Structure 1
Amino acid sequence: MNILVLFPLLFFLCTIFAGYWYKLVSAIVPAPYLDEVFHLRQAQAYCDGKLSQWDPKITTPPGLYVLSIPLRWVGDGCTVYNLRAVNMGLLGAVGIVAHWILELRRANGTTPRNSLTQALNDAHSAFNITLFPLLFFFSGLYYTDIASTLLVLSFYWCYMAESSKAKLFSPSQIAWALCSLTIRQTNIFWVAVFPAGLTVISTLQHSPAGARRRDSESLMQLSSRVLKQAWTEGSVYDPPIIEATLEDYLLTTASIIVATLRNLRRVVPALLQYGFILGIFACFVLWNGGVVLGDKSNHVATIHLPQMLYIWPYFVFFSFPLMLPSALRLALHLLSRAPGLSPRSKEAKTNLPRLCIFAAFSAIAALVIRVNTIVHPFTLADNRHYMFYVFRILLRNGFTKYGAAPTYVLCAYLSINALGGSEASEIPRKEEKCVKKGQDIAKQTATRSDGSCNASFVIVWLASTALSLVTAPLVEPRYFIIPWVVWRLHVPAYRFAATSGRNPTHALQEHDHRLWLETLWFFAINAATGYMFLYRGFSWPQEPGNIQRFMW
């Protein structure tokens, strides 16, 4: 098969799968379900021209409803069936824009440019993003998540396409940003704060020679050199993730702050358009008297730090296939320290977790759990959502509640490390047979990709993610969709060595095999959650005759 036809084939399959799911949902659950009751009713009011009518239970802006108005002139008009089809179509658009972003990363030099293998990896990754269970599930219902994701990705694509152009104001970026805010208010962090952070990094100079600690250089000497260069040269200390330790992240943050203060005349003009977007959003908040539009009593902003703990098991659960190299490297590292096996390799600087740092972060996580755990009334009042059962387990006793702290830290390490790829040189070379075998497999199957990220990206992404989550008292898996999609777009692919030289199947032999496992895993989750939603309904005693269904 010609590899060039795989991209349209994959998206044809995406349309087929999404269409099949949409048909099943519409046949078995024809009436509006749960939040659809509010969204569909509001969309139908807009279709009828009643633009001043507003349901006070709806918290998000009316962008999706405006987008659906043209359906009034199509077929039966704005029926439940037709309105649900909007998200089915938008899901394919998410995949297309995700593929454009991956292509731009390659064209901009952050991934290999002329590799057919990488092009295939890009298409497969974009396809997998459309299969992401939280997106795929809601492609059969009328919710705002897919439209929100699409508009944020469209903004990010526009930002990347124009990143090499010196523009103080980009009308296209501003337009996409404002459109995304008509769907969901928290998108402000992804269309203003996130690009502003990336713009600061790109505006400042990078010092490749200063990105690594020199031989025999102490941490104090490194810190002094980095901060001096940041002030005198405006350079950012920005090591690759695969080598970055906690100290490196702190130094990167400090160097960004110092270099920014030293170069305000260059940085401030580059941030004007994001300040403009923030200003418009601030005006909306003042006019509205708050961030949410309706149901304000149940959506009061508050500091909820455990959100930044819950997100990591979420990432690992859905994306463990992409974390297998990091997990293998960590396992080999632990085996190399076991009694009877050879000592640790000292050939290269690594970011493998140190016990003292791991214990300290686990203690901090436990403290956050102790003083800031918030259980929203909705969480334990509705057994139709999977989070109800997750929190019942977490809150069962102190052991499960606080014992989860090390798990959060480990999952965070694996998630962040996945952005950096892996280097075979970091795997111990002189182990006993069991370790040697695993090392050989890792060395022969994968090498670090040029598409890996640096510490500065992690800092900006973490800051944007935290700002979008920690003010929400409700733990909702859908809130993690955009952080996951942005993270997923930056996970580098691995090139697997072909065994028979260049031939018509060479690109497939070098294809990142983790992507196939990710595809199968997403299919399995979608099949399981789809089955539970459609065929495992139950009834509440207080609502006899009404079928309740499990969903995210």
Structure 2
Amino acid sequence: MAHKAIEILSPLIFFAASIPIFNKLYGTTQSVIDEEFHLRQGLHYCHKRFSEWDPKITTFPGLYIASIIVIPFDMCNVYGLRLVSLLASTCNVYLIFKIRERATPLQRNSLVLAIESMSISLLPPLYFFSHLYYTDVLSMTFFLAMYYYWSKRSHGISAIFGAFSVLVRQTNIVWVVLLLGVCFLDELIEMYAYRKGIKRKSTISLCSVKTIASIASSWGVVLQSIVNTLKLFYGYITVMVVFVAFVVSNGSIVVGDKSAHEATLHVPQIFYFGLFTLIFGAPVLFEKARETLRTLTKSKKFYAASLIIFLIVVRYNTMAHPYLLADNRHYTFYIWNRFYGKYEWFRFVIVPLYVLALKVIQLSMAHLSSGFQLMFWVSCFTALCCQKLLEVRYFLIPFMILRLNLKIRNRRYIIFELVWNLSINILTFMIFFKKEIYWSNYSEPQRIIW
């Protein structure tokens, strides 16, 4: 009974604690950067003007459709639309609680789960957008719902939430494919182990060339796995087929303004994601980072080879989107112009940290199935390395996948994480409220956000 009460109370406490910040931000400004396009479109849908569409918007209309829920409360205004994000963020607390509860069945301490779910929901870039009208928070909510039901093997419901997540942000199709891919690979390993008489499936690694060659040569196993996947996981496949049909008919994954979002191979994005993970996961990844350093010092050839490859990639594939160079309302602008863009040597000096970060991620997921690990990296590469713009919001879902699957040995790290996230949030909100930037084409002062 106490467990259920804490499960319900933790989102409510999160919501109540966020309202003062939400109100202060609302009182400070009525529009933040691209929010002006989202708000305008949201108001169209809120007032049932469904034929109106802003060509500057590049995402599907999921956010605006969901915003119809404010109509009965007579809240078709900026405050009401932004409240959709805060409510979605509150749902995230509950969903994270349920997912971590399943991921740590032997450590079901209700209070620890409540603190952890709130701490993860306070991930600074995600939490900041909980107070604005952007697609990111609702996108995360539908992803978490999809992931939760997938973990419960309720694949029909999971696929429905997957469709909703794509309707909010079309790049979420990558994460639908991830879950389908894991289902297929798990089915493949199951069939392969049965045919070969292997009792311990965990010993079958999809990272082994010999194993992959052996599986590929077993045509009966592969075909039966495909048939089983089509039978059992048709919901995800339906979402994929409909999405592919849209891309073919539209000529692009982007809705509206396609010129600023053309597909480009940009491999360093995966390095930036590694750095993002080290920074925001520092409290819970500290032990794993120490273990990684010991591993790398023992594997000098691997470390040296990785450094050389990463240096070549940085030298020949580093890109800077015009938005990154011109928009001083984002932290990435300052990071790039004061370090990466100003000092070319900085791009190379930081490479060892990239190697460390990606190795930390790999070791942190070592307890998961080889199919999950393989699909995670394939999905991260697809989602991140096919776009030119450096944007921290793109890293939110892959970071969340990692964080939801972490094994945390010491509960103190969760407290450290909570303090860490709270501290960064306090700092970024202070900067937002105090720092004003004046643009000639805007009458109101602009502010710095993630």
* TM-score computed with the length of structure 1 as normaliser: 0.75
Match of 1:199 among 157, 170, 183: 183
1:441-482 CA distances to partner (integer Å, 9 max, x unpaired)? xxxxxxxxxxx4244322221111111111111111001111
Assess, with a 3 A threshold, how the Cα gap between structure 1 residues 404 and 85 changes in structure 2: closer, same or farther.
same
1:162-218 CA distances to partner (integer Å, 9 max, x unpaired)? 26xxxxxx5423322221111011110111x211221123213469xxxxxxxxxxx
Q: Is the 8 A contact 1:63 1:183 kept in 2?
A: yes
- Map of 1:308 onto structure 2: 270
Assess, with a 3 A threshold, how the Cα gap between structure 1 residues 296 and 544 changes in structure 2: closer, same or farther.
closer
Write the distance in 2 (CA, Å) between the matches of 1:256 and 1:21.
57
Match of 1:466 among 367, 370, 381: 381
Which has the greater radius of gyration?
Answer: 1
Write the distance in 2 (CA, Å) between the matches of 1:253 and 1:6.
46
Please give the secondary structure, in 2, of the residue aligned with 1:323: helix
Assess, with a 3 A threshold, how the Cα gap between structure 1 residues 3 and 234 changes in structure 2: closer, same or farther.
closer
Please give the secondary structure, in 2, of the residue aligned with 1:249: coil
Write the distance in 1 (CA, Å) between the matches of 2:37 and 2:193.
56
Does residue 189 (structure 1) correspond to residue 185 (structure 2)? The answer is no
* Aligned-CA RMSD value: 2.7
Counterpart residue identity of residue 327, structure 2: D
Query: Superposed, which structure 2 residues align to 1:385-400 within 5 Å?
Result: 385-392=330-337, 393-400=339-346
Write the distance in 1 (CA, Å) between the matches of 2:150 and 2:399.
19
Residue 327 of structure 1 deviates from its aligned partner by: 2.8
- Map of 2:283 onto structure 1: 321
The worse-fitting range, judged by mean Cα deviation, of 352-361 and 377-386 is 352-361
- Map of 1:98 onto structure 2: 96
Write the distance in 2 (CA, Å) between the matches of 1:482 and 1:306.
18
Assess, with a 3 A threshold, how the Cα gap between structure 1 residues 205 and 150 changes in structure 2: closer, same or farther.
same
Q: Is the 8 A contact 2:186 2:371 kept in 1?
A: no
Write the distance in 2 (CA, Å) between the matches of 1:178 and 1:172.
10
Q: Is the 8 A contact 1:39 1:143 kept in 2?
A: yes
- Map of 1:506 onto structure 2: none
Write the distance in 1 (CA, Å) between the matches of 2:351 and 2:371.
26
Q: Is the 8 A contact 1:379 1:474 kept in 2?
A: yes
Match of 2:237 among 260, 270, 275: 275
Does residue 490 (structure 1) correspond to residue 405 (structure 2)? The answer is yes
Write the distance in 2 (CA, Å) between the matches of 1:204 and 1:351.
32
Counterpart residue identity of residue 32, structure 2: Y
Q: Is the 8 A contact 1:230 1:258 kept in 2?
A: no
Match of 1:294 among 241, 256, 273: 256
Q: Is the 8 A contact 1:200 1:260 kept in 2?
A: no
- Map of 2:81 onto structure 1: 83
Q: Is the 8 A contact 2:7 2:94 kept in 1?
A: no
Write the distance in 2 (CA, Å) between the matches of 1:137 and 1:32.
14
1:217-273 CA distances to partner (integer Å, 9 max, x unpaired)? xxxxxxxxxxx9798458897459xxx9xxx83459737953875512331134332
Assess, with a 3 A threshold, how the Cα gap between structure 1 residues 353 and 282 changes in structure 2: closer, same or farther.
farther
Assess, with a 3 A threshold, how the Cα gap between structure 1 residues 257 and 6 changes in structure 2: closer, same or farther.
same
Counterpart residue identity of residue 478, structure 1: R
Assess, with a 3 A threshold, how the Cα gap between structure 1 residues 70 and 259 changes in structure 2: closer, same or farther.
farther
Residue 20 of structure 1 deviates from its aligned partner by: 2.0
Write the distance in 2 (CA, Å) between the matches of 1:239 and 1:387.
42
- Map of 2:153 onto structure 1: 162
Assess, with a 3 A threshold, how the Cα gap between structure 1 residues 257 and 236 changes in structure 2: closer, same or farther.
farther
Please give the secondary structure, in 1, of the residue aligned with 2:174: helix
Q: Is the 8 A contact 2:174 2:379 kept in 1?
A: yes
Residue 123 of structure 1 deviates from its aligned partner by: 3.0
Identity in percent: 29
1:474-499 CA distances to partner (integer Å, 9 max, x unpaired)? 111001111111111000121x5xxx
Please give the secondary structure, in 2, of the residue aligned with 1:85: helix
Please give the secondary structure, in 2, of the residue aligned with 1:380: helix
Write the distance in 1 (CA, Å) between the matches of 2:301 and 2:16.
50
Match of 2:303 among 345, 358, 363: 358
Q: Is the 8 A contact 1:384 1:551 kept in 2?
A: yes
5+ residue gaps, structure 1, are 164-169, 208-227, 334-349, 421-451, 497-511
- Map of 1:217 onto structure 2: none
Task: Report the count of equivalent residues.
Answer: 444
Please give the secondary structure, in 1, of the residue aligned with 2:323: coil
Query: Superposed, which structure 2 residues align to 1:84-163 within 5 Å?
Result: 84-106=82-104, 111-112=105-106, 115-117=107-109, 119-162=110-153
Residue 116 of structure 1 deviates from its aligned partner by: 3.9
Q: Is the 8 A contact 2:296 2:303 kept in 1?
A: no
Q: Is the 8 A contact 1:237 1:252 kept in 2?
A: no
Counterpart residue identity of residue 305, structure 1: V
Counterpart residue identity of residue 167, structure 2: T
1:421-442 CA distances to partner (integer Å, 9 max, x unpaired)? xxxxxxxxxxxxxxxxxxxxxx
Which structure shows the bigger proportion of residues in helix conformation?
A: 2
